[in-house]
Structure 1
């Protein structure tokens, strides 16, 4: 009799015991454009078929609805778990996602939460010239990034192999999609045509090594200068050859005339 009562009490406790919810992973950092899947896992509770799962993002209004369309897809419970798939993630998708379970008793059990952080690389980096604000022969270079996140980013400038620390101004803007864009301007008194090599390096936490952009003064072209030198030398040589030819022909013509004059005198 005591054993029977014990089993009944155990069955009642098991039947009404609240579910426990865990979420996997607890946190994830992904690059923009990739896919991510979060899991909502329930403990061993009876009547799982009657459980209702809800997903939502902290700070947003409304629940995410089960659907096979769109970028955010909710998959109902199957094998003790429900899935939230976010496709082609964007910076704006960053945040904390929660799942909750509604039992037959209308008791809501909330999950532990899953934090999503989406990063974006500042590549590609471009480097171009800009007309100086004043009428001068100064060289102005502008180094621009692509859209990136998070916002911490560093520009480093080099002229040939020497680090440049002066004449630099940097700006950063927040885009409507939550990403950032930045640019760095370098103004130098180096005149155009100097042939100097300028390098802009961009450092960001998404990059294993700094992104790089290079500018070489277009008016300084070693191949072009070699060609111009060849043409000058060739032109001079040709001029000398023509002059010598004219001199030789002139002398021969004079000698021929002398030969004609001498017989006449005889």
Structure 2
């Protein structure tokens, strides 16, 4: 099986996993069973109290139930406002993650080149990871508050237990995190440039300042000879340059003597 086909099937599996996780997270918002408490008054009648981010509800064994929304948003604690905001962010980012992943997958062929599709899929994976982290923080924070109040001996109000919606939200967040992580890894390898790739090296060049001595002509020659800048001889004294036209016997000849 080719690598491209394997990646395509992997993207489909991760997309289905993230989509199922997003649906589970969305289903927990209208569900009332985030917290649950059962209080027995008499033998035949038992009161059940449960609540979520938006309302409190009560029911009994006779089938009578009643729900009431929170009366004032300004009177709510900061903890409840933060959980609401994180839950809504998880739903919104999960939706946009699905759109980006659906556009960037190899099987849809909606985008442009392979690199462009991989980058779109990488953005979708990051969005799915954001959705999963928001959901995980929401349900874990909510469960931690319930557990801390339940085990606190000084807490005198009614104590609640963790409802079924929190466990469903945990499962959906895990699906979002796992699917988004795999999508991000494989699409990042294909769409983002790696720093370890070998880059073409430019050939070495000679750099030197042009001076009067660089292209100086010898006194005994009329031909123009260009000497490479880095390979000319070192400086010579003026006495040596003055005696360049002198022979071994000490006689000096000028150019007119040879004519």
Instruction: Quickly name the TM-score band, shorter chain normalised.
Output: under 0.3
Higher strand share: 1
Structure with more contact order per residue of length (Cα contacts < 8 Å, sep ≥ 6): 2
What is the TM-score of this pair, normalised by structure 1? 0.25
